[in-house]
Structure formats: C-alpha cells, structure tokens
Structure 1
Amino acid sequence: MKSFLSLGMGRSGVTLEAPRPASGVLRHQDEEALAKLWVDIAKAEAGCIRVIEEVGRYREAIRSTQEAEERLIKELGGSGLAATNFELRRVSDEYLSVILEMREKSESVGGAVQEVLGDPLRDYHAQYEHLDTLRRRRDAQLATLHKIQDKLDRLKIKGKRTTDVVVERDSALKQLRQINTQLLAEAGRFHALRLPLLQPCLQALVQTQVDYYGTANATFTSQVEASRGAHLIPASQYEDTIAKHLGTIRDLKIVAT
C-alpha cells in the first residue's frame, strides 16, 4: 500500500511492503509476531493517509476561499453597480479591508501545516527507510536460503555428497534468523514512534486551526462593529441594509456563475 509519506508531506515513491512469508523456515512465534506487527503498521499507515488527505484538502480549501473572496471583491469593485451605488461601494471597501487583513493569516496556515506535519514526517521517514532496507535484506536472504535448500534437495535425490551444502544452508539460515530478529525489533520501535511523534503534531495542527478561525471571527466581528458604529444607525436598520446589499450581490452574474 502507499505510505502517507508519498502524499506530498514527505518524499515520494515510498511503498509499505510486508516481509515475505517464511513459514517452515523461521520459528512460528517469530513469523507470527512479525506478520501481526506488520498488519498493525499497515493499519496505522492507512489511518495516517486519511489524516494527511484531509489536511491537504483543508489547506487547499483555505487557499481557495481566500482567492475566491479576493476575486469577488475585485469583480464587485470593478462593476458598474459599485461605481454608482455609494452604499455598496462602502460595504465593498470595508469587506476588502477584512479580506486583505486575513490574507497573511491564510497564507501562514499552509506554512504551519508543513511545519507541524511535513517536517516531522520527514524525520519519521528516515526511520522507515532504514526499516525497509532491513526488510529487503531479510527477503533477499530468504530467497538465498530457498536456493540453497533446492540445491541440497537435488543432491539428495541424486545421492551425491551434501556436507558442504548442509553447512552452507545452516549458515544461511542462521543469518536469516539474525536479520529477522533485528527486523522484528526495528519494526517494533518504528511503530512505537508513531504516537509520540504524531500526537503533538496533530495537536499543533488543531491549535493552528483554532488560531485561524479565532482570528477570522475576531477580525470580521471587529469590522462589523466598527462599521455599525461609524454609520450611527440602529442595529435592526443596519442588519436590513447589509441583508439588502448581500441580496444585490447574490443577484450579480459573477456570483451566479
């Protein structure tokens, strides 16, 4: 399956391959433990993929929203309606000031996502590269052992001397067991790193989102209150005026398209 590290947050092209089965070659307990651990890693990886995909969509949504609001204000300000309607032009100018104030915050969200998720995941990726190298060594050693065993079986069938091949087979099996033991330990450490690494990253991401929406709410609220005070009109009349302007905006062709 694809790794979350290949989804734009880390280096690309990484795949999460399971070790080749070695039933009848390695101890059943070791083989079962490695298989179970790899299933757990794959499940956790699938969850990380979903998180990263959602984070990517969130980052794109923030960028698209900012661009859409700036485009709307630009089109509205350049329309003939705004040129002839003083109230609409004043509302547009006020809204523009809020949008421009939010631009820096919107841009910082993308950078924050990379900082709190992308950079830590690159460090985590380095751990996986070592693990994958070890996994490939184990699979290669297993293939070597199978070749030696096939050679030994052919010699036995032909009734030829097998002493040297038996020694070679036993040596290859010993090396395979050593690599498998190391892989099991390294895979366990790799999997154990995930929670302490990702938990503070996700907490930082949530804090970034809270900061963004808090700033947006405070900025828009402040602008509305300032605008209401500047016009010195009752709240109900102000709301009716804003609703009328919004209705006019919705009727514009650029909004309909």
Structure 2
Amino acid sequence: MVQDLANSALVREEETLQPLAEQWSGTVTKLEMISNELNTNYQKTVVEPMKKFSTIMPSTQTAVKKREQSLQEYSRYLAKVEKYREKERTGPNVVKLDAARKALLWAKDDFETQNSVLTGELPRFYERRIDYVQPCFQALIKSQVKYYTDAHNFYTDLSRQLSGEKDDQPSDVYNQRIQQKLAEIRALSITLDD
C-alpha cells in the first residue's frame, strides 16, 4: 500500500506529498525489519527449544508404557502363582508353581527397577521443564517489548515528521496549531459546525 502511494501520480505531481510518502515508506521499511527480527527471535527462543524439548517426550512416554507393561506382566505372574497354589499338589503342578514363582520374582524385580527409576526421574523432569521453558518465554517477552517500543518510537517520529512538529516544540504550541488548523477548516463553507 505504501509503495503504491509512493508511486502514485498524485504524489509525483504534488511536491509536498512526495517527502511525506517517502518518510512513511521509510518507517514501514524499518517496521518490516524489526518485525522480521521479532520472528527470528521467536524461532530461536520458542520454536527451536520446544522442538528439542518435544524430542524428550516420546522417550518418557515409552518408559511409562514399558513400566505399565511390566506391571501387567507382574500381575499376570502373580495370578498364575495364586492359581497354582489353589490347585492340588501334584508333580506337574509343583513344577509349574516353581516356574511361575521364578517368573514372578523376575517380573517383580523388573517392575520395581522401572518403577523406582520413573518415580525418581519423572518428578525431577516435571520440575525442570519450568526451568527449561521459563527463560525461553522471558526472552520472547523481552523481544516483544523491544519490538513494540521500537514500533511506537517509529510511529511517534513519523507522526511528528508528518505533522511538522519539532522535537523542541512544546505540546501546547502544537495543540494550538492543531486548533488553529481546525478553526480554518470549520471556516470553510463545505463543513458544518457542531
């Protein structure tokens, strides 16, 4: 839009509009640059760290599933041992009971090992995720503050340039000029007084 305005016939014909259009175009260019910088900072501070963090989640979920499978296996062997205890004590049943007890001990050790690792590591993992994510969002917030501060300053400067206000001109003098211009506009026969 700014480029269309800067290249329009009206701006080229009217000498006073050309510098204003160029100032506006320059401000828009600056805003595009800081907008690109904000997008780059967003990629670096949020997107890339979250991608790295998300690679950890599948291995954590796999460990939890493996623990659940180990618990199911332990429960299954426990049920087998109980089943063989209730049966009559014959030779084959005693052999099956001993085999089930050995499998139960193995399944119990496997489950307890996995359970102790997860119960120790998962709370630390969940506590540290905040330590990992918080600096990312702090950096993003700082980038946004810088972006919006710069954008505000650019628009303020552009507003002063377009209105002809000088930095050393007091705001009450500027307001008087505005009121004077509005009075001149009201004096025209094409406007209505309120």
Contact kept in structure 2, 1:98 and 1:219, CA below 8 Å: yes
Counterpart of 1:175? 110
From the superposition, tell whether residues 177 and 76 of structure 1 become closer, same or farther in structure 2 (CA, over 3 Å).
same
Counterpart of 1:207? 142
> Counterparts of 1:142 and 1:235 in 2: how far apart (Å)?
78
Contact kept in structure 1, 2:165 and 2:174, CA below 8 Å: no
Secondary structure of residue in 2 paired with 1:131: helix
Contact kept in structure 2, 1:128 and 1:190, CA below 8 Å: no
Q: Relative to structure 2, which stretch is displaced further, 165-174 or 98-107?
A: 165-174
Which structure 1 residue ranges, 5 or more long, are not aligned? 1-71, 245-257
Counterpart of 1:15? none
Is 1:131 aligned with 2:63?
A: no
Which structure 2 residue ranges, 5 or more long, are not aligned? 167-172, 186-194
> Counterparts of 1:169 and 1:183 in 2: how far apart (Å)?
21
Counterpart of 2:121? 186
> Counterparts of 1:153 and 1:85 in 2: how far apart (Å)?
98
Deviation at 1:80, TM superposition (A): 6.4
Counterpart of 1:18? none
From the superposition, tell whether residues 117 and 130 of structure 1 become closer, same or farther in structure 2 (CA, over 3 Å).
same
Counterpart of 1:118? 47
Contact kept in structure 1, 2:41 and 2:143, CA below 8 Å: yes
Deviation at 1:143, TM superposition (A): 2.2
Q: How does 1:1-257 map to 2 (within 5 A)?
A: 72-77=1-6, 90-159=19-88, 160-161=93-94, 162-227=97-162, 228=164, 235-236=174-175, 237=177
From the superposition, tell whether residues 154 and 238 of structure 1 become closer, same or farther in structure 2 (CA, over 3 Å).
same
Measured on the aligned residues, the alpha-carbon RMSD in Å equals 3.1
Q: Which amino acid aligns with 1:121?
A: M
Q: Which amino acid aligns with 1:144?
A: E
Counterpart of 2:190? none
Deviation at 1:97, TM superposition (A): 1.2
Map Cα deviations across residues 162-202 of structure 1 (whole Å, 9 max, x no partner): 12102211220121011111001110121121222222222
From the superposition, tell whether residues 151 and 85 of structure 1 become closer, same or farther in structure 2 (CA, over 3 Å).
farther
What TM-score, normalized to structure 2? 0.70
What TM-score, normalized to structure 1? 0.55
- Number of equivalences: 168
Map Cα deviations across residues 22-66 of structure 1 (whole Å, 9 max, x no partner): xxxxxxxxxxxxxxxxxxxxxxxxxxxxxxxxxxxxxxxxxxxxx
From the superposition, tell whether residues 156 and 88 of structure 1 become closer, same or farther in structure 2 (CA, over 3 Å).
farther
Q: Which has the higher contact order (CA 8 A, sep 6+)?
A: 2
